[in-house]
Amino acid sequence: MRTLLPLIVLFPAAALADEIEFPPENARPTVAAVEETPPLESVEAEVEVPAAPKKSKWIEPYGAIAGGMHLQSLNQPPEVKTSPQNPTVAVSRLGVRGGVGPYITFASEFEAALGGPLGYGASVWEGQAALAIRDQFVRYTRAGFSIAAGRIADPASYDYVSTHMGDLLYSDLYTRDPLLYSGADRGNGLIATYAITPNVTVLGTFHSTNPTGITGTLAIGGKLQPFDRPFFLAAAQVGNSQNNLPDQNLHIYFGSPAVMFHSEHFDAKAEIQVYSLDTQQSIDDDQTIRGYNLRLGARGRIPTRIGQLSPFANVSRNKNEILDPTDSKYRLPDLFRSYTFSVGADLDITKKSGVGMSYAMVDTREPEQHVREHYLNVGTSYWIEDSFAVGVRGSVFAQQISGETMTTGARSVFVTARLVLNN
């Protein structure tokens, strides 16, 4: 009986162990495994026929988590009664990327956003409108050519920035807004690239979507009552309609050919973004908003005795037509004009740790209004581990509006920690 009891206990456990599938090792296999096949149904031949190799598949997580303290000082007009909030802030991105065979790759990433440019709008449960979709694409690559479809980011549309200013993943007022106003483009569309040489790549992006479906719409200016830019007209319907969708009466066609150069010590990119925006899909005799945005950027990498110095500069120039603010059937003779300019540098004292600074200016002109905005960031980051860093950053935002004598804005200090999963 004493012998029978252990056998009764161990027998089901042994049977269950046969059903457990242990996960593969973390290292990605370089050669697909080959299954064993039974021998041929022949008495004379005992030769085994090798099976066809499986298609290699891989998948891995990626993303980042950042948070910390935001200390702020506001400079507002006397009629604006707003006190500093000094919020604790958090932003995170998490996704998976992978591949099927040698030519197909994919990615899927979501973001729990900062909660507005100053981090005021975060929520835990009710009212959480800060969950955003980032990368959602499938890509086919072969012989230097690739094409991707889904929610994609155009790499040629993003300015070169200081890596030490990424303590909140470039989602705050001081680092995000200059990128958006210069034409940083992510959204529903197609992108094709071709590597002419190991150093030169040409690419093109195309979108046909609602203005809220791409971030590139933010560069388009001109008042559409009661909003300053067409993007906000479409976005205002979110939360007000029964299905919480943006205004479906607007549609944009957006294309951007570009060329990028990369080498050991120098990078550069050039792009032209062209677009046509219809603000009244329900009528046929309205006018569209047509325009273009020219973009240039360059970055160097210079070894020094202290560490690697990486200066960068970017410039963009946007022009677009303006509709009558109250009646889209009429187009005004004036144009909306804007340009952005940014410079900065990183000094990497160790492999990744160091100091950096950046300055950006956004200048916009339209009938009866001229606005100039300044963004300054100075900070440092120290990477305790390859994937974990702490940082301190000081930031200044200043806005000057024609006809107003007072310069408004904000000053902030960020003390943060971040984890980056890129490996």
Determine the Cα–Cα distance for residues 155 and 365; give it in Å rounded to an integer.
27
Q: How far apart are CA 149 and CA 151, in angstroms?
A: 7
pLDDT at 101: 94
The confidence score (pLDDT) of residue 53 equals 52
Say which DSSP state 282 is in.
Answer: T
The amino acid present at 199, given as its one-letter code, is N
Is omega for the bond preceding 226 within 30 degrees of 0, making it cis?
A: yes
d(CA 277, CA 211): 8
Comparing CA positions, the residue from 402, 394, 377, 407 lying closest to residue 76 is 407
What ranges make up the beta strands (E) of 35-103? 57-75, 88-100
Q: Could you tell me the two tokens for 9? A: 């206990």
> Tell me, what's the pLDDT at 224?
83
CA distance linking residue 218 with residue 157, whole number of Å: 13
Angstrom CA distances, 141 to 98, 105, 220, 247, 262, stand at 13, 8, 32, 36, 19
- The radius of gyration of the chain's CA atoms, rounded to the nearest angstrom, is 27
Q: Tens digit of pLDDT per residue, the chain (423 long)?
A: 444 434 433 444 444 344 334 344 444 444 443 333 333 333 333 445 555 555 589 999 999 999 999 999 988 887 777 788 899 999 999 999 999 999 999 999 999 888 888 888 777 776 555 678 899 999 999 999 999 999 999 999 999 999 999 999 999 999 999 999 999 999 999 999 999 999 999 999 999 999 999 999 999 998 887 888 888 888 887 767 667 788 888 999 999 999 999 999 999 999 999 999 998 888 888 899 999 999 999 999 999 999 999 999 999 999 999 998 877 788 899 999 999 999 999 999 998 999 999 999 999 999 889 999 999 999 999 999 999 999 999 999 999 999 888 899 999 999 999 999 975
Domains assigned to the chain = 144-421 (2.40.160.10)
Question: In sequence order, what are the residues at sequence separation of 6 or more whose Cβ sits closer than 8 angstroms to the Cβ of residue 103?
Answer: 140, 141, 142
Per-residue pLDDT at 423: 59
The reported pTM is: 0.83
CA 74/CA 77 separation, integer angstroms: 10
